[in-house]
Amino acid sequence: MQGDRTERVVLVVEDDRDCLDAVCELLRFEGYRTVAATNGREALDYLRGPERPELILLDLMMPVMSGWQLLASLRQTAGLAAVPVVLLSADADLKQRARELGVAGYVRKPVDVETLLNVVRRHIGAR
């Protein structure tokens, strides 16, 4: 059914497996479909396919390809630049930098469940 949250895909890019699993499980419980990637390269491989997520939750410090590198790639790729990105980071000073980067939002780690859900709902929850 179009407009049903089960059709709304959130790409979660996080190298900490426990955090990745917890965020994906929470979002699935709330009715979203999730795609998990443990680094920017895996995320980019998924994004080169036919499916587009409605939101990307992105950790910045990862091996192989960092969140910073993935963000730069997204901005240079037609069709991906418009996908909203919310940064996940333990760095409290990143909030201002996130605004300057023009990303859709910032959630501080450890992730607060209500904060995360509010951010997701704000970007894809009510259409």
Q: How far apart are CA 44 and CA 90, in angstroms?
A: 23
List, for residues 74-103, the tens digit of each pLDDT value.
Answer: 888 878 888 999 999 888 777 777 777 778
Residue 127 lies in a domain: no
What is the CATH number for 25? 3.40.50.2300
Number of separate domains in the chain: 1
Residue 73 lies in a domain: yes
Residue 24 lies in a domain: yes
Write out the residue range of the structural domain in which residue 54 sits.
Answer: 5-121
Identify the burial level of 46 via C-beta atoms within 10 angstroms of its C-beta, where 0-12 means exposed, 13-18 middle and 19 or more buried.
middle
List, for residues 14-54, the tens digit of each pLDDT value.
Answer: 999 999 999 999 999 999 999 999 999 999 999 999 999 99
Residue 126 lies in a domain: no
Residue 78 lies in a domain: yes
pTM: 0.88
Residue 126: which residues within 8 A CB-CB, separation 6 or more? none
